[in-house]
Amino acid sequence: MRKDDLLRMIDAIHRERGVELDILFEALEEALSMAARKRVGVEEGYDVKINRRNGEISLKGPDGSVTLPSAEELGRIAAQNTKQAFMQKIREAERDKVYEQFEDQIGTVVSAIVHKLEGPNILVALSGSKTEALLPRSERVLSERLHAGDRIRVLIKEVRKEGSRVVIIVSRRDEEYVRKLFEVEIPEIRDGLIRVMKVARDAGYRSKVAVYSMDPRVDCIGACLGVRGTRIRNINDELGQEKIDIIEWSDSLEELVQNALKPAKDILLEHIFADEENMSVFVLVSEDQKPLAIGMGGRNVRLASQICGWDIDIKTPEEYEAELLASEKGVAPPEPAADETPEATAEEKAPTEEEAPAEETPKAPVEEEAPVEETPEAPAEEETPAEEEAPAEEKEAPVEEEAPAAEEEEEQPVAEGQENKG
């Protein structure tokens, strides 16, 4: 290869793949050095150097400079191995470049175009580069439908090396995705005047974002909403019409719980009771506000619990009073034993009544129960006189049958006597 052709080839690869010139020259030098060592039959001691300006190639051996063998002298197999080694070095350089580029962007939101759908996973092309990223099923919002060519925003969640390529995992489901969208769309958050304290999300349905104003003159909720809701509408469109509740953060647990349970209204601070030992909060709400406080499938109270970091239990005053009455009735006095007190509960009495006959039944003889069966016959005979006559006739019948039998017995000895006389 001529010197000019070599320099043009290196420059074309540099422009096409974006790999630095020094890396390309070093890769080619190493590939040619490996081929020369195999040709000579040594493992080290022969290094190829390429002049960056004129493209001159020189081979330095242990005793000084030697002539580099030509392609014909190296052979077809050696030339093919040199090409493969050179391309491998280029791919590794590309991998390292992509890794360094996107490693610093982990946790940021970038624009992308849906490139290809592969079953439950989606390949997206990151804008500004030819790099593809993977949007797996676990990081997708299952309720949204994406098609090839759609422009979306994604959160770069993970970047890792796998062999000769870089795998970039992006997400549209992570809670950090909502936080970064607020930073992009709301200048006050980006400038630090408003802080996003916590985000709780049920992807595709509802998100709760707790914000806090560092400047008392700035309305944190109004700044997030924007004029006529323009700012929050842009975020809502990106999330696929997902409902977003913006609540004000408070250091007071009662106030934070009150704000987090919105859209439920009319929750008094006096009706919020915290149990620090169990990290739980008990809240009394009116009957009409209870469905709003709990939400569909318990979604609202679950997200509010994530915002506060405490378990939240919601009841109406009627339910709370009913539980109190039930607990008062079910508790026995502490001094006397539960079996001796006349105020024992029905649950405690029931097993004692069942156990008593179970112990007495084997002791009671079967013959003593027989008279019990004769008791219903007395009223039956008094009520139905016709039935009394029937057994009377039946009793007479055997008497008539037995009479001739007795006469026959009397006649037989008489006959026998007469025979003896004769």
Whichever domain contains 28, its CATH number is 3.30.1480.10
Residue 181: give its domain's CATH number.
3.30.300.20
12 and 49 housed in the same domain = yes
Q: For 235-256, what is the mean pLDDT?
A: 91
* Nearest in space to 307 (alpha carbons), one of 199, 179, 206: 199
Where residue 64 falls among pLDDT bands split at 50, 70, 90? low
pLDDT (tens digit per residue) in 195-221? 999 999 999 899 999 999 999 899 999
In this prediction, residue 255 carries a pLDDT of 93
User: Is residue 336 in some structural domain?
Assistant: no
The number of folded domains in the chain is 4
pTM for the model stands at 0.65
- Sort 209 into a burial class: Cβ within 10 Å, 0-12 / 13-18 / 19+: buried
Is residue 367 included in any domain, yes or no?
no
Alpha-helix runs per DSSP H in 331-376 = 346-360, 370-374
Which of 284, 301, 327 is where one domain is finished? Answer: 327
For the domain that residue 137 is a member of, what is the CATH number? 2.40.50.140
Structure tokens at 13: 């690869």
312: confidence class by pLDDT, cuts 50, 70, 90: very high
Range of the domain at 197: 174-249
Give the whole-angstrom CA distance, residue 251 versus residue 210. 12
Check residue 215 and report its DSSP letter.
S
Q: Is residue 67 domain-shared with residue 118, that is, in the same domain?
A: no
Are 77 and 17 contained in the same domain? yes
Task: Give the residue from 149, 146, 167 showing the smallest Cα distance to 157.
Answer: 167
| Separation of alpha carbons 57 and 51, rounded Å | 7
Closest residue by Cα to residue 339 from 351, 330, 327: 351
Q: What is the mean pLDDT of residues 117-140?
A: 89
pLDDT at 386 over 80: no
- Domain membership flag for residue 405: no
pLDDT for the residue 397:
39
Domain finish residue from 93, 118, 143: 93
Helix segments in 286-384, DSSP class H: 290-294, 299-308, 317-330, 346-360, 370-374, 377-383
Say if 78 falls within a structural domain: yes
Q: What is the pLDDT of residue 20?
A: 85
Q: For residues 200 and 159, state if they share a domain.
A: no
Is residue 7 domain-shared with residue 75, that is, in the same domain? yes
- The pLDDT of residue 379 is above 50: no
Q: Which residues does residue 171 pair with via DSSP β-bridges, in sequence order?
A: 155
| Predicted confidence (pLDDT) per residue in 162-198, tens digit | 877 899 999 999 999 999 999 999 999 999 999 999 9
* Longest CA–CA separation in the chain, Å: 174
Give mean pLDDT, residues 365-375. Answer: 41
Whole-Å CA distances, 247 to 199, 205, 223, 225, 300: 10, 17, 12, 11, 13
- 414 part of a folded domain: no
Of the candidates 125, 155, 171, which is a domain's last residue?
171
